[in-house]
């Protein structure tokens, strides 16, 4: 299954990159510089985990793959914008992202701010377009759910907490909320998007939500472990930054051993939520194992 998963994720990553190029054409006009920076910010060879979750959850309900791909790209635009802004000197001050110069290092800081703004804005234009789904009610639900997952009560709120974590020590409850907001809510949206697109009945939506919740936490615990155990060559980004900044993470609170077993337990639990789909969600189950086993 892990080989199948790797092939499926690689195929999807190629589809996502083609769709990004198609949706972000550049021109000879001078303002096209911001489009180039937007492209650069989302064509960096990432794993495309979130787009994969969108497309796989949509496939459970027989959604047109072209429609799912548009939502997948919108999610990747929002994820990429968050990385571009997070890397800015006033935020995490990152020079490298997946081994390449970050957007503000490649272009400049002002262009990076605008490129992030442009990616975020364009994501909503893509979702609201009739090409994404024939039913405007579905499109509105997608817009509302993505905005909620990315906004001040989701990702942006999580990043705010993350900044505060540099000066304050958080307990396990606040650290869990931080991570749910910062990465969990966007992972949850990626899984729920398939259910919205496929007009899935409530029990199936709830199952996807529960799966995404456990998957997101497991993902973040492994991220924290890699920040300690990984190398820059493996992760393609600076490591050891959380400890350096004195941030509370799952690993600083639980210790490495308990954190690792917690991640493994969450993966088991995530897979159990998918039993409702019989064998049709095997690839999403494999994603849970992949997320816990990953080294990058």
Binding site for a second copy (CB under 8 A): 30-31, 33-35, 38, 81, 85, 88, 90-91, 108-111, 113-114, 116-118, 120-122, 124-125, 127-130, 135-137, 139-141, 143-144, 146-148, 150-152, 156-161, 163-164, 168, 174, 181
Question: For a second copy, which is the closer residue by CB, 35 or 96?
Answer: 35
For the bound state, the minimum distance from the C-beta of residue 24 to a second copy, rounded and expressed in Å, comes to: 8
For the bound state, the minimum distance from the C-beta of residue 271 to a second copy, rounded and expressed in Å, comes to: 31
Question: For a second copy, which is the closer residue by CB, 7 or 32?
Answer: 32
The distance of Cα 69 from the centroid of its chain, to the nearest Å, equals: 15
Question: For a second copy, which is the closer residue by CB, 42 or 226?
Answer: 42
Question: For a second copy, which is the closer residue by CB, 56 or 132?
Answer: 132
Please name the residues in contact with 143: beta carbons below 8 A apart, sequence gap of 6 or more: 124, 127, 128
User: What are 221's two structure tokens?
Assistant: 């615990």
Question: Does residue 128 come out as left (phi exceeding 0), alpha (psi in the -120 to 50 range) or beta?
Answer: alpha
Give dist(CA 123, CA 264) in Å, integer. 33
Would you say 248 and 165 are in contact if contact means Cβ atoms under 8 Å apart? Answer: yes
For the bound state, the minimum distance from the C-beta of residue 275 to a second copy, rounded and expressed in Å, comes to: 33
For the bound state, the minimum distance from the C-beta of residue 86 to a second copy, rounded and expressed in Å, comes to: 9
Give dist(CA 193, CA 11) in Å, integer. 20
For the bound state, the minimum distance from the C-beta of residue 151 to a second copy, rounded and expressed in Å, comes to: 4
For the bound state, the minimum distance from the C-beta of residue 118 to a second copy, rounded and expressed in Å, comes to: 4
For the bound state, the minimum distance from the C-beta of residue 106 to a second copy, rounded and expressed in Å, comes to: 15
Question: For a second copy, which is the closer residue by CB, 159 or 220?
Answer: 159
What is 47-98 written as a DSSP string? --HHHHHHHHHHHTTT--HHHHHHHHHHHHHHHHHHHHHHTSTTTT--SEET
Would you say 221 and 263 are in contact if contact means Cβ atoms under 8 Å apart? Answer: yes
Would you say 241 and 86 are in contact if contact means Cβ atoms under 8 Å apart? Answer: no
Question: For a second copy, which is the closer residue by CB, 62 or 173?
Answer: 173
Question: For a second copy, which is the closer residue by CB, 140 or 276?
Answer: 140
Give dist(CA 17, CA 198) in Å, integer. 24
For the bound state, the minimum distance from the C-beta of residue 248 to a second copy, rounded and expressed in Å, comes to: 12
Would you say 179 and 158 are in contact if contact means Cβ atoms under 8 Å apart? Answer: yes
Question: For a second copy, which is the closer residue by CB, 4 or 168?
Answer: 168
Give dist(CA 41, CA 154) in Å, integer. 21
């Amino acid at each position: 299954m892990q080989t199948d998963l790797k092939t499926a994720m690689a195929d999807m990553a190629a589809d996502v990159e083609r769709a990004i190029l198609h949706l972000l054409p550049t021109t000879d006009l001078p303002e096209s510089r911001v489009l180039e920076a937007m492209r650069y910010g989302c064509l960096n060879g990432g794993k495309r985990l979130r787009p994969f979750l969108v497309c796989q959850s949509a496939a459970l309900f027989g959604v047109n793959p072209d429609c799912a791909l548009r939502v997948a790209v919108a999610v990747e635009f929002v994820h990429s914008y968050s990385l571009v802004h997070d890397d800015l000197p006033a935020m995490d001050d990152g020079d490298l992202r997946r081994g390449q110069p970050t957007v503000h290092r490649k272009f400049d800081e002002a262009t990076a701010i605008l490129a992030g703004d442009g990616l975020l804005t364009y994501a909503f234009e893509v979702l609201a377009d009739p090409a994404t789904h024939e039913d405007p009610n579905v499109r509105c639900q997608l817009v509302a759910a993505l905005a909620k997952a990315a906004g001040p009560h989701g990702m942006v709120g999580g990043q705010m907490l993350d900044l505060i974590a540099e000066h304050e020590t958080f307990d396990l409850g606040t650290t869990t909320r931080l991570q749910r907001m910062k990465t969990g809510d966007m992972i949850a949206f990626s899984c729920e998007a398939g259910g919205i697109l496929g007009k899935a009945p409530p029990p199936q939506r709830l199952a996807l939500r529960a799966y995404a919740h456990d998957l997101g936490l497991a993902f973040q615990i492994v991220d924290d472990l890699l920040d300690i155990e990984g190398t820059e060559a493996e992760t393609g980004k600076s490591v050891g930054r959380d400890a350096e900044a004195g941030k509370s993470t799952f690993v600083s609170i639980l210790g490495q051993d308990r954190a690792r077993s917690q991640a493994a337990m969450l993966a088991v639990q995530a897979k159990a939520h998918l039993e409702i789909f019989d064998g049709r969600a095997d690839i999403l189950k494999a994603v849970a194992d992949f997320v816990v086993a990953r080294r990058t």
